[in-house]
Structure 1
């Protein structure tokens, strides 16, 4: 019997599945081939990029030179310790701070900078059991929120107990911990500068045990001439919270160092360098975009003269008799070129910033502006004579000169310093006539405005335009009738030394108010063997306005100023005893303003504005010595400082001496932050 063979039947659905799998594998193979052959290079680059790391390194800031090419602000390379904070790492941060005490020198100032809240925060984080006892279980259940519980703990934690509980060694940990806490999350924060190589090497070996800690190359400002003019060079530091949005919008990073005062601030965009960029690929190969140092500033300052003027001030104040000053000794000097506005020297005893921010009644130094205002308004003419006798009027303070001078004209009033003459001009401006019954002071407001508007043409009571931030304009608001007759001889409104210097320069050059400047040129960084880079910008002299007086008007006042210093005799100039032997033909005006000190009118501001030579001015000077005890015995301080400073200027023009560099490292280097180390 023949058996029938069975057929080998594969279902159709299985054939479809096999076919589908074949198609999918074919597509996959084709796709892999396309990726490898066509897009292989592109994906290889992406892989390499994923392995790349980029680090930005701060570029050094631009340098500053004085007018003679001396480097007055330099950069010194240093190593800086940074910490990058992350949320939720409180315990780790405390451990790192404790370990860093082995490497960082913490001094008493660092400890003193810790505030009460920081002491308390540290104590609560490190004494959890004691902290829990400050709040009962019932209170904790009622408050619920951790922040509310924490605030209650703070309230019940006396500062004295906290500090007493933290020993000296642990206080160093607190100082480091508080500095670490001040940084932004995910951004490196400088916590210690100026690491020596040994310390940096030791820390580098422990980096893997100190998460967030790193060492970076940095630079610190250096001042070869020590403290000379250092206030106006300004300082640098990390961006403050109030300025953060502005700087971030300009492309800065949170941890960048910026100028935060004076020239460093005013010229931040110029001095800022382009960061170096170091890129490391997946294979560890480095490529560097070197960046660039910031542009340099060539200042108008003569550092040799600056040092001489500082010595002049110190010598004169140091030799003043005991009791000369009613408060701490203070004196300010500014010297500038009349025809350009270039500041040659700015120096103070006690407080440099008062050169642009201090406000003083300047006394009789303002009298030339008063007479010129009288000419311009038409109330007096050349040679007008007034009788210098005391003035006593209703609703006004009595006015007298330092002596009854009799008949004086406009030049006499400058040479001999007549207060009465100035008040008579002011009376004419207010339409007030002596000896006429029924006259009132209704025109005083008009007189105030006329005088102040004319003073402003010299820079008195208005911005001078100096290229520094935060200049003040003095006080010129108010129409006190009782003080109206005091205004024209400098006993009411207040002005800054910078305004006095601009006034002196305007008198010297015959009426052009020049914008005072501290920066003459901006240069690109020097490269190769170049001594200096190419000029990016040159600040040309700028006339802010010309005073509304004729050349003849100015010539009369300039003659009066010459006589102040050079005409001796019984009716000679008020400064002739100090200057009549000067061989540089000076001209100037003295001033003494009575001021209230300790709520009593017992003090005097001594002042002087001057220039030389009279016939071809090279230099103008303003001096103010505030709050001296007498107008007689020691009133020569301003005169003496002016004489010595002018002598120093002309001696340097002849000898060309170089400035002396400092050998005190504490003066040379600046720490731009309040960090540790």
Structure 2
């Protein structure tokens, strides 16, 4: 009995202890719940409901259009179907891969896109698709060594392990991808361009209506995929000015590798389309559209709401100084005359290109810049191609066209007086060949003034002017000491005209010409008649414009104005910026000295002995200066330079109040007999300019900055 009673007491004690413990634990739990709910309730509630606001730039706004001075479209945008993909911050690679597989069953992928898949793309894709095999490519010991390396952080260890996996993927595995797998990879690769929450173009070329319909019907099973409208850059005028307009990258190309850092610092995405060359590149900041700015409210990486902060818009419209109709008419003239003469292989075996520039001498506005040269199409066939680019990136010996600068250098250095007479005679410096003017052999020695020297294109007058600048006196068959400083004097004065220095045209890649490297008396003589240093066609145009306008070197430019996008087809957008004419420098010459050379140029076009007197009866009263330069043509098939001649012609009109200047350059124009193609092209071009001027005045065309309606020229 006593034992039973003792056991009962022990049980009672244990039950009491258990009860007290349970009571104590519940009390603690209730207390803890109280603290959580009352003291820290608001903190935990905020944590549960915490979200993030994330901004993104969405859409693919069209680039600005490019127009000519009369509001005719030169570069446009063409709408096209597009399929896009947008990932969130929490989207996993596995999820993206699943969407890519489903999408691949609904759309076609161009073979060229598949062919563009590089080895690294295939390696990354293989590792993603073969997790278990990938893990076996790096041993546990190798991983342990990486873990033991205290000099590497975790990211560096993971990167090293991944690189080891990439290097060890069996080559035959990478070659075993099927067409369907490569198709999925091409889509998956596009998914991974750009940023999260920003739409990426998956396909925007040749997207059929059937593909758009199939994808639209299955959007519920394709998270992140959308169908929309995109754009493609269209160069409306085919090859016209094509070489200077430049290019825009595709979504597949995105930002060129060498420009990634620069563009990313400006907020561009890797797959953004950007101008990659010339005009499209030079004015990228204006032509690019502004994406719409979206603010996303996210929770754990998933988007729960989105709202637009700023609307997107097209890029700014750019209006050029170019007269499109004039440009195309002059292109036709150059093509006709170039092809006609190039066909005469017995006269012009090396002639393969021609250049023609027209500009306003007072403003520097380029009205046309024509360049044509023979090249090969993609099939290897010979064809005439646009080379407007060559008007400011290629340089040539230009001959007597620069004699106006030589005479003015004589004036500006006080070495030559206006109206001064010098004897045109054969020049022979000791131990050098005899040099003479083209007419000296038949007419003999004769005195002539500066104006006559320009009209006749006297070489001897220019040589003697150069001697006077050098401070030496010519004596037949005697040596002559020409200091190097004389070359510097001439070059510095020629630069005042734009010869031998960049014209500062508003396009990249301009050449500034080549300088001869020897400083002998014969070299100075060659320099004075344009047969030593080389110049670009654009430099010639700037040079003759400087003479035409009374001595002001104007910056040539093709950008006229910037306007807001044109949303009404018959109206121009509001004016944002208008290019102001820029004077780069003024000649260090008096009005009388400049006028004297102008008179000489007038006699070239009107005098009985003028070398460009095919303009004599023109109603627009032109002034001009022709040039012929001994040159060399490199024949790759023969591996050597062959002697030839370049011909040039510069001028302006009307003589008393110039409104247009021009420069014509024909490299390797002929061998023996000059066919005067330079003069034919120049005359036809100027005739066409004044013909169109009358037509424009009759139809009421305008080119000033206004908000009037767009006027279309006849094609």
Which TM class, normalised by the smaller chain length?
0.7 to 0.9
**1:120–1:530 Cα change, 3 Å:** closer
Equivalent residue number for residue 323 of structure 2: 302
Q: CA RMSD in A?
A: 4.3
Question: Is residue 483 of structure 1 aligned with residue 523 of structure 2?
Answer: yes
Equivalent residue number for residue 383 of structure 1: 419
Question: Is residue 594 of structure 1 aligned with residue 596 of structure 2?
Answer: no
Question: Is residue 232 of structure 1 aligned with residue 244 of structure 2?
Answer: yes
**1:397–1:80 Cα change, 3 Å:** farther
Cα deviation 1:12-54 (Å, max 9, x = unaligned): 7666544433322222332576469xx77x975x45x58x896
Question: Is residue 61 of structure 1 aligned with residue 63 of structure 2?
Answer: yes
Question: Secondary structure of the residue that 1:258 maps to in structure 2?
Answer: coil
Q: Using the alignment, how far apart are the partners of 1:175 and 1:13 within structure 2?
A: 67
1:354 is displaced (CA, Å) by 0.5
Q: Using the alignment, how far apart are the partners of 2:537 and 2:188 within structure 1?
A: 42
Q: Using the alignment, how far apart are the partners of 2:629 and 2:41 within structure 1?
A: 94
Q: Using the alignment, how far apart are the partners of 1:97 and 1:610 within structure 2?
A: 67
User: Paired residues, what number?
Assistant: 613
Equivalent residue number for residue 675 of structure 1: none
Question: Secondary structure of the residue that 2:274 maps to in structure 1?
Answer: strand
**1:583–1:180 Cα change, 3 Å:** farther
Q: Using the alignment, how far apart are the partners of 1:492 and 1:622 within structure 2?
A: 19
Question: Is residue 244 of structure 1 aligned with residue 256 of structure 2?
Answer: no
Equivalent residue number for residue 515 of structure 1: 555
Equivalent residue number for residue 399 of structure 2: 363
Cα deviation 1:82-128 (Å, max 9, x = unaligned): 68999999x979x9699589724547xx89x879x879989x999xx
Equivalent residue number for residue 258 of structure 1: 274
1:270 is displaced (CA, Å) by 1.4
Cα deviation 1:367-415 (Å, max 9, x = unaligned): 0000100111122111222222222224656422211152222111111
Name which structure has the greater RCO, CA cutoff 8 Å, separation 6+.
1
Structure 1 residue aligned with 2:289, among 241, 253, 273? 273
Equivalent residue number for residue 540 of structure 2: 500
Question: Is residue 195 of structure 1 aligned with residue 218 of structure 2?
Answer: no
Which consecutive unaligned segments of at least 5 residues does structure 2 have?
128-162, 298-302, 374-386, 700-710
Q: Using the alignment, how far apart are the partners of 1:292 and 1:648 within structure 2?
A: 40
Within 5 Å, which residues of 2 pair with 1:252-651? 252-277=268-293, 287=308, 289-320=310-341, 321-323=343-345, 324-327=347-350, 329-350=352-373, 351-394=387-430, 398-404=434-440, 406-435=446-475, 439-443=479-483, 445-476=484-515, 478-481=517-520, 482-526=522-566, 531-568=571-608, 572-576=609-613, 578-597=614-633, 598=635, 599-630=640-671, 632-634=673-675, 636-651=676-691
Question: 1:332·1:349 contact (CA, 8 Å) conserved in 2?
Answer: yes
Deviates further, 451-460 or 196-205? 196-205
Q: Using the alignment, how far apart are the partners of 1:263 and 1:185 within structure 2?
A: 27
Question: 2:430·2:478 contact (CA, 8 Å) conserved in 1?
Answer: no
**1:176–1:221 Cα change, 3 Å:** farther
| TM-score (normalised: structure 1) | 0.79
Equivalent residue number for residue 222 of structure 1: 234
Within 5 Å, which residues of 2 pair with 1:62-211? 62-80=64-82, 103-104=108-109, 106=111, 188=200, 193-203=205-215
Question: 1:563·1:587 contact (CA, 8 Å) conserved in 2?
Answer: yes
Q: Using the alignment, how far apart are the partners of 1:271 and 1:523 within structure 2?
A: 10
Question: 1:388·1:407 contact (CA, 8 Å) conserved in 2?
Answer: yes
Cα deviation 1:428-465 (Å, max 9, x = unaligned): 2333322288744341x122111111110011111111
1:255 is displaced (CA, Å) by 1.1
**1:275–1:330 Cα change, 3 Å:** same
Question: Secondary structure of the residue that 1:432 maps to in structure 2?
Answer: coil
Q: Using the alignment, how far apart are the partners of 1:601 and 1:195 within structure 2?
A: 53
Deviates further, 290-299 or 613-622? 290-299
Which consecutive unaligned segments of at least 5 residues does structure 1 have?
127-143, 663-677
Cα deviation 1:531-569 (Å, max 9, x = unaligned): 23332222111100001111111111101111111122x
1:301 is displaced (CA, Å) by 1.1
Cα deviation 1:471-494 (Å, max 9, x = unaligned): 111112523424221111111111
Question: 2:97·2:188 contact (CA, 8 Å) conserved in 1?
Answer: no
Question: 1:594·1:601 contact (CA, 8 Å) conserved in 2?
Answer: no
Cα deviation 1:334-357 (Å, max 9, x = unaligned): 111011111111111122210110
**1:59–1:120 Cα change, 3 Å:** closer
Question: Secondary structure of the residue that 1:448 maps to in structure 2?
Answer: helix
Deviates further, 392-401 or 55-64? 392-401
Deviates further, 608-617 or 308-317? 308-317
